[in-house]
Structure 1
Amino acid sequence: MSQLLNRFLGSGEALARLQDHAARLRRLQVVLERGLPPLLGGLCRVANFKEGTLVLSASGGAAAARLRQLTPSLVGHFVQAGHAVQAIKVKVAAPETASWRRPPPERHISADARAGLTQFAATLPADSPLRASLERLAQRSRE
């Protein structure tokens, strides 16, 4: 029983350390956003802080290059804000993958069928969702 209790308390301490580290990273992110030009602020994130070295993640090569140019002034900015930052490393973040969407299927309808759909759609009320769908189908279809 005592081993289980010790293991639980040990994991609680680890959780507390992790929460403290996450809170520190959030505070550093706020300081970073205040110290960057507005256009660069949305492209850079605090990735980690360990042993006086702040690791920043840039969302592209150009943003990373500009961030590297700003590192001396950023170190001063963090020190002035009360954080013990001694060095800054800049890394380029992996690009996010765009979600793939299947292209819409092509509709092949004969000219007679298209004319029939158009005539039937004209008989429906103007605000009918079925009418809008049939008209859209007739417009997008190919022979």
Structure 2
Amino acid sequence: MRDSRPQLLDVLFDDASAGSKGPLHNVQQRAVALLKLNRAVKGLLPAPLHPWCRVANFRQGILVLETANASWMMRLRYEQPALLSALRAQILPSLSSIDIRINPALMAKGSHQVRNAEKAPEKPVPMRHLSLESAEELRGLASRSPEKLRKILERLAALAGEGTNTTSRDK
């Protein structure tokens, strides 16, 4: 019969730290194994799939992968045969199949990871220069244009020779 009485957390942690085969030790080993498997799977998948896919479980020869939505699930299904053969050859010879499931909670986690990647330092925007010939053409066009457009073209032609940034606009 199973021992289902509550146990103190101190006892569980002491057993786990002592290296005995207690319940927490088994959970920790399983978690470490799944983390290693997750790293291996992500190493075999294309980079765009990384934030949207993770290993959920491995039992009875079936690898369970979770993905954020149906769109990512279809992309993962395209990679499934190559992933299955690579995992069988490199890590899990006992792997029989891959099951892909949708977990909407990954959508929030994945979009957060993508936003953090986008916050990486951006490359400086190159400076654009307006040549003197282009400025003369703009002035000629301005002389034949209506009042409102003429003022805009003249202001643009006045920028010739100055370094102007693509994001700055003089009004």
TM-score interval (norm. to shorter): 0.5 to 0.7
Q: How many Å separate the matches in 1 of 2:75 and 2:86? A: 16
Tell me if 1:51 matches 2:60: yes
TM-score, structure 2 as length reference: 0.48
Q: Does 1:28 align with 2:37?
A: yes
Out of 94, 104, 120, the residue aligned to residue 104 of structure 2 is 94
Q: Report 1 or 2 for greater relative contact order, CA contacts < 8 Å, sequence distance ≥ 6.
A: 1
| Identity of matched residues, % | 28
Q: Which residue of 2 aligns with 1:15?
A: 24
Post-superposition shift, 1:79?
Answer: 1.6
Alpha-carbon distance in 2 for matches of 1:37, 1:55? 18
CA 1:15–1:31 in 2, change beyond 3 Å: closer, same or farther?
A: same
**Given that residues 31 and 81 in structure 1 are in contact (C-alpha distance below 8 angstroms), is that contact kept between their aligned partners in structure 2?**
no
Whole-Å Cα distance in 2 between the matches of residues 97 and 37 of structure 1?
18
Residue in 1 aligned with 2:145?
Answer: none
Query: Structure 1: which 5+ runs fail to align?
Result: 99-143
Counterpart selection for 1:67 from 65, 76, 87: 76
67-76 vs 41-50, which moves further: 67-76
Compute the RMSD of aligned alpha carbons.
Answer: 3.1
Shift of 1:95: 4.0
| Count of residues paired in the alignment | 95
The answer on whether the counterparts of 1:44 and 1:59 sit within 8 Å (CA) in structure 2 is yes
Q: 2:52 touches 2:106 (CA, 8 Å); kept in 1?
A: no
SS in 1 for 2:22: helix
Structure 2, unpaired ranges of 5+:
6-10, 109-171
